[in-house]
Structure 1
Amino acid sequence: MRVLVTGATGFVASALIPMLACRGHHVRAAVRRPGAFPVPDTAAVGDIGPETDWSRALEGIDAVVHLAARVHQAEEPGDAAAALGLHRRVNREGTRRLAEAAAAAGVRRMVLVSTIKAVTENGAEDAVTDETPPRPSSPYGISKLEAEQALEAVAARTGLEQVVVRPPLVYGPGVGANFRQLMELCRRAPPLPFGAIRNRRSLVYVGNLAGAIAACVEHRDAPGRRFLVHDGPVLSTPDLIRAIARALGRPARLFGVPPPLLGAAFGLIGRGDAFDRLAASLELDDRAIRKTLGWEPLWSQEDALRTTAEWFNAATGP
């Protein structure tokens, strides 16, 4: 097929584009500005939003994978309504515009890469399934759920096949943000007070996510579904720190502080959100994508963490 990938210079696209090419698809990359060429067939579309002109990018395309999105920005407005408005413009209205343009251009299928934050943030008591009622709370999560709903509405009206993928935290070579910071912390190997945390969290390696997205592009039973996806093994925060430290060849120096005391300490320094990410559970049940599409992770979690550690060491030096 001829597949358009938006957000083509991003982290997930760096794994997805080669995988689609290896599976025999022709990939066209959509980028915001001229000058970036992830693949020879690249179209600059400008900013993503309700006025984006997709006509050149969609010409002759069979399927779209929509990765481009607004995530939390360092310069996020302090006003919650203003922040939500910015996210909605890119994530909800940008998705609606692309879906309508794709349907008008005769595109057969659109795969939206959403997020588990469209369902819940942190602290889910039970494993999240494809049927868990969504209760997003952040501007990003709310706008991504609305993006899913916008795509579904266009699909119902036009016949465009639509698929939604909801990954948890994604890691792998090139990862940034919180996971990269955790790797740097593990490499320094200071004593860490997280040994008493007993949470359960799901992660997905970027290569495994790319394989799941490719399956959603290709499989005849994918349309109309929302799929969760993760590596398989569920880790606690101490387990994750030990696994990263082992992959980096460093010791994991963990000691236990009761989580309520640890949470209070984080709150006193204004980092309660960071404690939530460290201590809360967010376990996913991805049996639906495995059963419906026959998808299985291409990389074991151990191999994926080792590959990520090797990239991190090479990228940052001793």
Structure 2
Amino acid sequence: MSNNTCACKVPLKSKLLITGGSGFVGSALLDELVRSDKYYVVNALRKLTGMKTGNVEEFYLSTLSDMTNWLDALQNVDVVIHSAARVHVMNELESDPLQAFRAVNVDATMNLAKQAVEAKVRRFIFISSIKVNGEETSEGKPFTSWQRPEPLDDYGRSKLEAEQKLLALAQVSQMEVVIIRPVLVYGPGVKANFEKMIACVDKMIPLPLLSIANARSLVFIENLVDLICVCINHKNAANQVFLVSDGVDYSTVTIFQKLAKALHKHSMLFPFPVYIMKIAGLITGKKQVVQRLCGSLQVDISRTKELLDWTPPVNTDEAFIKTVEHYKKYLSKL
């Protein structure tokens, strides 16, 4: 039985299939594709939204696995943008986490990719993760797209395995593959740790972070979406791996200060020995949280900029303001 919700004529515009269209990145990408009106989009979803526009068709996805039938969704598709994934979680409940990540991030991805080859899809864009490179960088040694990957958790390992299999598939087929590894993505509607940071600043909660001296790369959602859109057609993107960030790196202290400025508040940070914070993280089981606050994670996007003639279109001051304004607007509705 067909999963497709409607039968449409072959569009005159280039046709895209996106997965993960209800997620943070996928929904922002879908919004941009709708605004641009350059493409006809098939949006694969586990739960249909009933969205009705002239250039978007929803495709019901009962499950994302190595058994999913993509035949109807891939008809006449030129480019697949695959952002759906089993994401990194802080409190893992699976008895075999690596297998759980592989089932979605590797097996389901390759099932879609192989069917895309059969459907003669021109390009497959895979949204991976900087966790493929690792968890932390040392001073002056940012991650690069050409260095040997060293993922340290099961999520990162599964993303690397998917990347390797996709690039191998590109070598034996006509389909081009593009790998994009974002750093921490933020922007209007961001959840998890970044939203918690905004909330702490907004509530003027004193935090012992002023002694931290690190550097972290971030990417604003609009900058990431812009890069994805460039990769749809750019000839130099074929079979390449791209790291993406805003192009500037900030310490944890500076991030809190920028959020405070955007909120018109004071950042209530005070000095505290970093080594004691790290010991406390070990004792309380919050090692990863402390590592993200105290450690550095920088990426070198020079190759991305040079190959694609690309520069992040939104500067960080504007990005922080947009993120905070959405947060304040959301709070007013609670």
Alpha-carbon displacement from aligned partner over 1:30-89 (angstroms, at most 9, x marks no partner)? 11234554864111122212111111111110001000000134663364xx01100000
Structure 2 residue ranges without an equivalent (≥5): 1-13
Q: 1:164 matched to which residue of 2?
A: 179
Matches of residues 251-266 of structure 1 in structure 2 within 5 Å?
Answer: 251-266=266-281
Residue 31 of structure 2 corresponds to: 18
Q: Given that residues 94 and 100 in structure 2 are in contact (C-alpha distance below 8 angstroms), is that contact kept between their aligned partners in structure 1?
A: no
Q: Which residue of 1 aligns with 2:126?
A: 112
Q: Report what 1:5 is aligned to.
A: 18
**Percentage of matched positions with identical amino acids:** 36
The RMSD of aligned alpha carbons is 1.6
Aligned partners of 2:282, 2:167: CA distance in 1, in Å? 40
- The residue correspondences of 1:28-67 to structure 2 (distance < 5 A) are 28-35=42-49, 37=51, 40-67=56-83
Indicate yes or no: 2:325 matched with 1:310: yes
Report the Cα distance in structure 1 between the residues aligned to 2:214 and 2:330, rounded to whole angstroms: 30
Q: Unaligned stretches of 5+ in structure 1?
A: none
In 2, the alpha carbon distance for the partners of 1:107 and 1:70 equals 24
- The CA distance in 2 between the partners of 1:157 and 1:236, in whole Å, is 43
Answer with 139-148 or 249-258: which moved more: 249-258
Alignment of 1:85-234 (within 5 A): 85-125=99-139, 126-234=141-249
State the shift of 1:244 in Å: 0.9
Alignment coverage as a number of residue pairs:
316
Q: Which amino acid aligns with 1:98?
A: L
Q: CA deviation at 1:124?
A: 4.3
What secondary structure does 1:55 align onto?
coil
Counterpart contact for 1:9–1:38, Cα < 8 Å: no
SS of residue in 2 equivalent to 1:159: coil
Q: 1:240, CA displacement in angstroms?
A: 0.4
Query: 2:42 aligns to what SS in structure 1?
Result: strand
TM-score with structure 2 setting the length: 0.91
* Distance in 2 separating the partners of 1:235 and 1:38: 41
SS in structure 2 of the partner of residue 195 of structure 1: coil
Q: Deviation string for 1:137-191 (max 9, x for gaps)?
A: 1111110111111211221121210000000000011111111111111111122
After alignment, is 257-266 or 130-139 more displaced?
A: 257-266
**Cα distance in 2, alignment partners of residues 34 and 233 from structure 1:** 38
Distance of 1:199 and 1:43 partners within structure 2: 44
Q: CA deviation at 1:23?
A: 5.9
Q: Kindly provide the amino acid, as one letter, of the partner of residue 162 in structure 2.
A: A
1:268, distance to aligned residue in structure 2 (A): 2.5
